[in-house]
């Protein structure tokens, strides 16, 4: 089975992209694990319902954890060839186009230790500044710097890896730094 | 109208909480007696929940009963003071009590006596129709209400046994509510401050038969007593530098393990020497411990690794000591409950605003009842200042000067219990060198930072302190760096300058100070007890109450070293209803119980009583849900309070919570 687009993360943004692409006639696979935090912000939104909409449009859903991927380099940038998942082991998944929609800290799309913020699946370039002291403000209701952290993208929404764009990997949703979000 | 049973003797019943019984009540009883209107007069005292504190002057139901009996006895009136309602199940409606009396004393006819102000609302009483049908009602006049139209209206109804109005009975202008606002109450001892020191003094007073009242401006445990490390020191930490403190600690350590085993995890402790430390210190340390009476024994590093797998494997020396872990909340509430059960009054949310003076003597306090929104005046021959960090301010109200050295300490709570034994560094005391297991968590501390008094209200943990704690603490137990941090918190040590001493911080004695302001400042009536440690509270209380007894000329010996403490807050095992807090499994009924019976009004009150918001979500999911049930739902304040603990540790798991909180609470208009 081959797919036009492989979406990593079946939360709010992943499903939105999947539904939109299915409607355009592209065939999508969503690989996802866990619950989306969207329900906390929007009690009307249901992951169940959206997932059924996506599947009714012909989309495929795989409950699995993505562990990483394999890249190759070209002159213009990098290409993500395939990705590995927890339960498929050696049987990697490939697609022409990939979409990263793994969410932010809450969903594990971003991780932090006291000094760094990183994107755990592919080691993508991430926007953050300083160390943990600089990420938060003492007043809860003040703007919190960490809320703007996330992966960096180029003008076309492609993620960057060591400064070079990954030509077939777009990012959507809260994994993307609000500085780059479109 | 049903015919009254003329053959039966009539018992007239006056119901009330009698908080306190006053001239208005006595006037009506006198009137009924003089006119021989009934064969028997009874005052039915209604108990109130022991936890509904601060509503009246006499918070203990048995005290109200005794006070009513004493007042009636003084008048010589033939009145029986009845405690029948004390044994009836809740809710106790008047009709239930009347029915109960009918059953137990079938040969009597019962008449209900009430004030003209009560008859106006009689229709809203439980089973009012039944009450009117089966019982005669006597109404006495109350100023400001004309009961006549109501009495007439009731009598005009069918099936009403009869409502009598004693229009001409003498009226009395006073009500209990007014008296409460006006009256000065006297006690043997007033204690200011509801931390461990204050509740310890209150319990000791109660055990020695002194009539004590404790006033706390907020909730119990809001000061250092709810924000410390929970270490039941063996004294080893002080053996080198402060042998007097060390001896106090080991003696109290042994006593508390006996009298409060349910508050203590007797886990023992290790003092470990790391490669960077001076191993020569260890022997001197052991010698000092033994000299202070502390069992301290060197054990092989391999043996230390076996009994405490989390310890830094590179250790070069270890000493086993009888350190333990103590639950501060349980210890405070156990003392408070036992004090109250033995007759002390505990008034939380009562702030002392001034001390009453007679010349230089302190004779009482002016206290603001925060929730009842009224001023009260209490008097006693001895007033104990147990206001912790704020002791200087209280003493200043009497013109006495005490120098406090407020010292901030910050601690980190980890989401799992990393160590089984308390872990200390075997070196001169320093920052971040103690790791105390606390139930299923571990607490690392502490830092030490001198504060100016004006900095106290804003004191909170900072990210810099957290970095220091982790850098040092992970040398004791490297696993700390991989363990989820739940939150950070800070407390303020109420260090106090010894008279004549100028230096503070760790160089001040950690022992306590008991000032008799009569001899010290020529201010009779005031005593200050401060400093020390949570775990020496019993000794501090003993010394304080010894002094009070001498002042009052009542030589009674202290028994707190022998009389065990009761179980802390007895919580009904099973509560039903919707789950409100998933992390701690707190259900709707438990929250209702905390509101109705334990006096919780805000989310922070609730957290201290039910653990709502203490779990891994740190209140983010449950706060809104619980707030809807509370009288004072201060969600914004609660979230800011929790944020204080999360923002200094904002990475890893805490980052997830931080983000969730931002999504949930920023997008709403709180
Ligand atoms: C970081 C830290 C770690 C510690 N670790 C330990 C430990 O491991 N083991 C140990 O034994 N001890 C420890 N301690 C010490 C211990 O916490 C304190 O010594 C003890 O709790 C002091 O109790 P207290 O009742 O005197 O003061 P507090 O608990 O502060 O109580 C004073 C009370 O007075 C009230 N009050 C103030 N002004 C007024 C007023 N005008 N009217 C009415 N009420 C008023 C306050 O609201 C407060 O509740 C630690 C302290 C800190 C700060």
**ipTM (interface pTM):** 0.92
Distance CA B231, CA B221 (A): 16
In a domain, B396, yes or no: yes
Output the CA–CA distances (angstroms, integers) from residue B136 to B27, B119, B666, in the order listed: 21, 13, 61
Count the Cβ atoms, other than its own, within 10 Å of residue B405. Answer: 20
Range with the lowest mean pLDDT among B12-21, B245-254, B318-327, B544-553? B12-21
Range with the lowest mean pLDDT among B138-147, B331-340, B409-418? B138-147
Same domain, B98 and B169: yes
pLDDT value at residue B175? 58
Looking up residue B272, the CATH number of its domain turns out to be: 3.30.9.10
| Ligand 1 atom closest to Cα of residue B389 | 30
Beta carbons of B652 and A37 less than 8 Å apart: no
pLDDT of A9 > 50? The answer is yes
pLDDT value at residue B436? 97
pLDDT of B563 > 70? The answer is yes
Read off the pLDDT of each residue in B514-524 and give the average, rounded to a whole number.
95
Read off the pLDDT of each residue in B378-388 and give the average, rounded to a whole number.
96
Output the CA–CA distances (angstroms, integers) from residue B471 to A114, A174, B382, B475, B480, in the order listed: 11, 32, 48, 7, 10
In a domain, B310, yes or no: yes
Same domain, B386 and B434: no
pLDDT value at residue B638? 84
In a domain, B557, yes or no: no
SS3 B13: strand
Beta carbons of B660 and A40 less than 8 Å apart: yes
DSSP B138-203: EEE--TT---HHHHHHHHHSTT---EEE-TTSPP----HHHHHHHPEEE-SEEEE--SHHHHHHHH
Q: Is the CB of B406 under 6 A from ligand 1?
A: no
Residues of chain A positioned with their CB less than 8 A from the CB of B661: 140
Residues of chain B positioned with their CB less than 8 A from the CB of A40: 621, 660, 663-664
SS3 B544: helix
Same domain, B165 and B279: no
Last residue of a domain, one of B121, B152, B177: B177
In a domain, B63, yes or no: yes
In a domain, B227, yes or no: no
Range with the lowest mean pLDDT among A134-143, B207-216, B315-324, B562-571? B562-571
Number of domains in chain B: 4
B639 touches chain A (CB under 8 A): yes
The residue among B610 and B411 whose pLDDT is bigger is B411
CB pairs under 8 A between A and B: 64
B35-B38-B40 Cα angle (round to 5): 120
Using 50, 70 and 90 to split pLDDT, how confident is the model at A39? Answer: confident
Instruction: Tell me the Ramachandran region of residue B317: left when phi exceeds 0, alpha when psi lies from -120 to 50, beta otherwise.
Output: beta
pLDDT value at residue B570? 45
Supply φ then ψ for residue B305, to 5 degrees. -65, -35
Residues of chain B positioned with their CB less than 8 A from the CB of A106: 656, 659-660, 663
Distance from CA of A15 to the nearest CA of B (A): 20
Expressed in angstroms, the distance from the first to the final Cα of chain B is: 59
pLDDT value at residue B510? 64
Same domain, B396 and B515: yes
Last residue of a domain, one of B440, B472, B491: B491
Same domain, B483 and B438: yes
Query: Measured in angstroms, how far is the CA atom of residue B495 from the centroid of ligand 1?
Result: 10
In three-state form (DSSP H/G/I as H, E/B as E, the rest C), the secondary structure along B61-95 is HHHHHHHHHHHHHHHCCCEEEECHHHHCCCCCCHH
Residues of chain A positioned with their CB less than 8 A from the CB of B650: 112, 132, 135-136, 146
Looking up residue B393, the CATH number of its domain turns out to be: 3.50.50.60
Distance CA A44, CA A24 (A): 26
Average pLDDT score, chain B: 87
Query: Structural domains in chain A?
Result: 2-175 (3.50.50.60)
What is the helix (H) or strand (E) element at residue B243, kind and residue range?
helix B243-259
pLDDT of B51 > 50? The answer is no
pLDDT in tens, B299-322: 999 999 999 999 999 999 999 999
Query: Measured in angstroms, how far is the CA atom of residue B390 from the centroid of ligand 1?
Result: 9
Last residue of a domain, one of B472, B491, B510: B491
Q: Is the CB of B405 under 6 A from ligand 1?
A: no
What is the helix (H) or strand (E) element at residue B303, kind and residue range?
helix B301-307
Instruction: Tell me the Ramachandran region of residue A105: left when phi exceeds 0, alpha when psi lies from -120 to 50, beta otherwise.
Output: alpha
Sign of the dihedral through C-alpha B600, B604, B608, B610 = positive
Supply φ then ψ for residue B487, to 5 degrees. -170, 170
Same domain, B63 and B148: yes
A136 touches chain B (CB under 8 A): yes
What is the helix (H) or strand (E) element at residue B385, kind and residue range?
strand B382-385
pLDDT value at residue B574? 61
Residue B468, domain extent: 264-321+407-491
Same domain, B411 and B399: no
Q: Is the CB of B194 under 6 A from ligand 1?
A: yes
Scan for tokens 């929250």, then name that residue.
B591
Same domain, B511 and B363: yes
Same domain, B342 and B413: no
Among B390, B264, B396, which Cα is nearest to B322's? B264
B559-590 per-residue burial string, b: 16 or more CB within 10 A, e: under 16: ebeeeebeebbeeeeebeeeebbebbebbbeb
pLDDT in tens, B359-379: 999 999 999 998 888 889 999
pLDDT in tens, B231-277: 999 999 999 998 999 999 999 999 999 999 989 999 999 999 999 99
Looking up residue B118, the CATH number of its domain turns out to be: 3.40.50.620
pLDDT in tens, A92-124: 999 999 999 999 999 999 999 999 999 999 999
Read off the pLDDT of each residue in B525-532 and give the average, rounded to a whole number.
95
Scan for tokens 């042994």, then name that residue.
B254
Tell me if the pTM is above 0.90: no
pLDDT in tens, B597-623: 667 788 888 887 777 776 666 677 788
Same domain, B92 and B189: no
Using 50, 70 and 90 to split pLDDT, how confident is the model at B280? Answer: very high
Alpha helices in B561-614 (DSSP H): 588-596, 603-610
Distance CA B350, CA B376 (A): 9
SS3 B469: helix
pLDDT value at residue A168? 97
Among B467, B465, B528, which Cα is nearest to B499's? B528
Query: Measured in angstroms, how far is the CA atom of residue B616 from the centroid of ligand 1?
Result: 26
Using 50, 70 and 90 to split pLDDT, how confident is the model at B2? Answer: very low
pLDDT in tens, B109-164: 999 998 887 887 788 788 888 899 999 999 988 877 788 888 998 888 888 899 99
Query: Measured in angstroms, how far is the CA atom of residue B373 from the centroid of ligand 1?
Result: 26
Same domain, B292 and B355: no
Is it true that the peptide bond before B578 is cis, omega within 30 degrees of 0? no
Same domain, B590 and B661: yes
Distance CA B130, CA B120 (A): 17
pLDDT in tens, B496-508: 877 654 444 444 5
Beta carbons of B663 and A41 less than 8 Å apart: yes
pLDDT value at residue B447? 94
Supply φ then ψ for residue B647, to 5 degrees. -65, -30
CA torsion B523→B526→B532→B535, rounded to 10°? 170
């Amino acid at each position: 089975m081959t797919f036009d687009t492989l979406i990593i993360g079946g939360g709010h943004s992943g499903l939105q992209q999947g539904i939109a692409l299915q409607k355009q006639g592209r065939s999508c696979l969503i690989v996802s694990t866990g619950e989306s935090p969207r329900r906390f912000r929007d009690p009307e939104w249901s992951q169940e319902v959206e997932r059924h909409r996506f599947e009714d449009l012909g989309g495929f859903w795989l409950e699995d954890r993505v562990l990483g991927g394999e890249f190759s380099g070209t002159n213009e940038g990098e290409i993500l060839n395939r990705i590995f998942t927890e339960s498929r082991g050696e049987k990697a998944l490939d697609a022409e186009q990939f979409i990263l929609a793994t969410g932010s800290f809450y969903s594990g799309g971003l991780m932090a230790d006291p000094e760094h913020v990183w994107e755990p699946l592919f080691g993508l370039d991430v926007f953050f500044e300083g160390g943990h002291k600089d990420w938060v403000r003492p007043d809860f209701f003040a703007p919190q710097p960490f809320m703007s952290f996330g992966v960096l993208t180029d003008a076309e929404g492609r993620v960057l890896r060591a400064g070079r764009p990954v030509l077939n990997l777009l990012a959507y949703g809260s994994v993307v730094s609000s500085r780059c979000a479109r | 109208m049903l015919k009254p049973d003329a053959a039966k003797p009539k018992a007239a019943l006056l119901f009330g909480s009698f908080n306190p019984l006053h001239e208005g009540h006595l006037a009506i009883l006198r009137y009924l007696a003089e006119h021989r209107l009934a064969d028997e007069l009874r005052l039915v005292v209604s108990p109130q929940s022991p936890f509904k504190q601060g509503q009246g002057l006499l918070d203990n139901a048995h005290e109200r009963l005794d006070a009513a009996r004493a007042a009636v006895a003084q008048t010589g009136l033939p009145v029986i003071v009845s405690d029948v309602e004390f044994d009836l199940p809740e809710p106790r409606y008047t009709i239930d009590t009347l029915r109960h009396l009918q059953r137990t004393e079938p040969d009597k006819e019962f008449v209900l006596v009430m004030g003209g102000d009560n008859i106006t609302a009689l229709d809203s009483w439980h089973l009012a129709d039944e009450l009117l049908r089966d019982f005669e009602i006597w109404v006495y006049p109350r100023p400001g209400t004309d009961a006549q139209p109501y009495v007439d209206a009731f009598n005009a109804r069918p099936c009403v046994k009869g409502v009598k109005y004693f229009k001409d009975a003498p009226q009395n202008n006073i009500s209990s509510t007014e008296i409460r606002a006006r009256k000065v109450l006297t006690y043997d001892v007033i204690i200011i401050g509801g931390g461990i020191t204050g509740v310890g003094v209150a319990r000791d007073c109660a055990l020695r038969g002194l009539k004590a009242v404790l006033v706390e401006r907020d909730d119990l445990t809001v000061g250092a007593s709810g924000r410390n490390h929970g270490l039941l020191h063996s004294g080893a930490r002080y053996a080198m530098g402060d042998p007097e403190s060390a001896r106090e600690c080991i003696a109290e350590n042994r006593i508390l393990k006996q009298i409060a085993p349910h508050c203590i995890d007797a886990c023992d402790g290790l003092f470990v020497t790391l490669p960077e430390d001076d191993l020569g210190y260890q022997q001197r340390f052991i010698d000092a411990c033994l000299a202070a009476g502390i069992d301290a024994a060197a054990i092989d590093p391999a043996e230390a690794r076996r009994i405490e797998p989390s310890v830094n494997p590179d250790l070069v020396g270890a000493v086993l000591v009888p350190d333990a872990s103590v639950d501060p909340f349980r210890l405070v509430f156990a003392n408070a409950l036992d004090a109250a059960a033995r007759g002390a009054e505990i008034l939380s949310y009562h702030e002392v605003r001034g001390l009453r003076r007679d010349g230089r003597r302190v004779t009482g306090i002016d206290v603001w009842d925060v929730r009842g929104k009224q001023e009260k005046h209490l008097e006693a021959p001895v007033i104990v200042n147990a206001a912790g960090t704020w002791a200087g301010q209280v003493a200043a109200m009497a013109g006495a000067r005490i120098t406090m050295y407020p010292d901030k300490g910050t601690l980190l709570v980890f989401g799992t219990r990393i160590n089984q034994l308390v872990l200390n560094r075997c070196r001169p005391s320093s920052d971040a060198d103690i790791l105390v297991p606390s139930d299923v968590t571990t607490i690392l501390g502490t830092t030490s930072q001198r504060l100016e008094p004006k900095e106290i209200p804003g004191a909170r943990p900072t990210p810099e302190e957290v970095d220091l704690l982790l850098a040092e603490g992970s040398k004791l137990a490297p696993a700390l760096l991989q363990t989820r941090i739940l939150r950070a918190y800070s407390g303020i040590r109420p260090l106090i300058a010894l008279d004549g001493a100028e230096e503070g911080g760790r160089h001040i004695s950690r022992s306590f100070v008991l000032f008799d302001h009569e001899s010290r400042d020529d201010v009779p009536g005031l005593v200050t007890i401060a400093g020390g440690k949570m775990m020496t509270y019993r000794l501090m209380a003993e010394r304080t109450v010894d002094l009070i007894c001498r002042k009052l000329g009542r030589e009674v010996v202290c028994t707190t070293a022998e009389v065990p403490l009761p179980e802390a807050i007895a919580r009904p095992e099973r509560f039903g209803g919707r789950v409100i807090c998933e992390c701690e499994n707190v259900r709707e009924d438990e929250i209702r119980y905390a509101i109705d019976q334990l006096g919780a009004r805000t989310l922070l009150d609730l957290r201290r009583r039910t653990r709502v918001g203490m779990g891994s979500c740190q209140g983010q999911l449950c706060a809104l849900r619980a707030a809807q049930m509370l009288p004072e739902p201060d969600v914004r304040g609660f979230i800011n309070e929790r944020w204080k603990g999360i923002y200094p540790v904002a990475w890893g798991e805490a980052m997830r919570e931080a983000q969730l909180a931002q999504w949930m609470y920023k997008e709403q208009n709180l």
